[in-house]
Structure 1
């Protein structure tokens, strides 16, 4: 099975794993999230009452660029970088405005247009996000589920922190019982009482300010990082199994390091009994000593005899295949010997 670390290296984040960012336009607070690629983008905007979504890809994207900025000549990647930075890190000359439209021409909440005016290489640059109302499933996947996950995780962390503080109090009490005193009186702390702490938090001015802000600070830098980590873990848990996950057996890091050091090979690693398709023959058979029921392992020379005529094989491919087969055979023999030793010492 593919490990989570390996999966994270290959996984391409979707819009759901991109964190929200708070922005204020014309005195109204919005949450916005987006995902940019080399030739497309997705954006989701909400005022916590309505949700709007837009996805724009290559051809439609180029048309809008030409319509809004006919005098600017730049690569699509450069323009997308400009659009993203204007939202994520707006500069002084960047201005934002919001308008609403409907298919009937009347102003309502059916469509939202977020207009950005900025500077690209000293020239005026304009961009309009034109987003339609998002469906309820998108709202759930991008806000409700992530927020519930964040609340659960923060609650779990608070309980763990309470345990840490209580254990610290026990440690301090042990020191005091041995006559140890603090060097400065003002750094001495009272014993932690969870109920008293919770009541103090509820009566504090910061609690009132937090309620007034209605969670506008939930997606500060720390909140964005927590959101990203939760949704990445959520994607890992709900990933779709693939044939590669079911069949591909990977070497552990220690064995790979040993083999690479002995052989001095810098070639790619392959799972047990799996060779690159470009160099495998009609069959790839396991070594005879490890799996007696399979047919004997074929040498590179005998495998070459099965290569169709008219398809020349370079010497480098022979050498590469031979090295890989030797490495696989040694690894299998090593695992086999380890299993035999375990059986001998078993009681």
Structure 2
């Protein structure tokens, strides 16, 4: 399963995936337009309703008629496809496949589980099927908890999140869009989703296509590191900054720099004015403060370092009071 196809065979895969058997190949350099989203995709997935819209894609609740035919009592899936505005862009379907391939490689209990990448031959619509999750996203949770979360609840979210991102980074997968709206609290735990802006670290996962992403500037401003907004390529340090913003917001109820993006905060040197949120234990603050550095050179911590800080046990005031004084 891990053997790579010869170059000549691999070169034919894109056309094979997007063409119906009876349709001749389109001339090189032309693209067949993508049709409107049909009610039934791939002869199998019946669209029921829209669940959400992101920067490039839309997610629907769909019924898997094949699973239903075989008596599955829960035949529903989530189905992600490109939005109408993006579907006709060059390489748009390749970007959707890249999201599928990156997410599938992470394979972590706190990352959304994917099923298939498919193409509806009639409409030329590429789509991903994935597990249908129920529960609030973290931005919905923050709306209900404007003062932030107490440490016990925060830790139960922070540790699984950091475990998932640390695992992804260890495999060479960068997320690129870490924010509360891309995290969901399912009945069996946290799920991270939407790797649509993600990519592989240079030199890692060589079997995946290296796509040109210079024209895709869909970073979420409040969670994007200053270097991303300046036009630098995505790197692990940018994910660390986004995690810093997200964790600060979860424990305080407020974004560390309010409504300002990282470049605006950098102009005012606001990172020098940050104070530890009251709900955050003292031992976690140095790590989180470092993750929030606006200069990537000063952001001298990785996700594993953040995870170690948030996993560390919190000492009670009595234990600290009873600690022997060095002689």
Higher helix share: 1
TM-score by length of 1: 0.23
TM-score by length of 2: 0.24
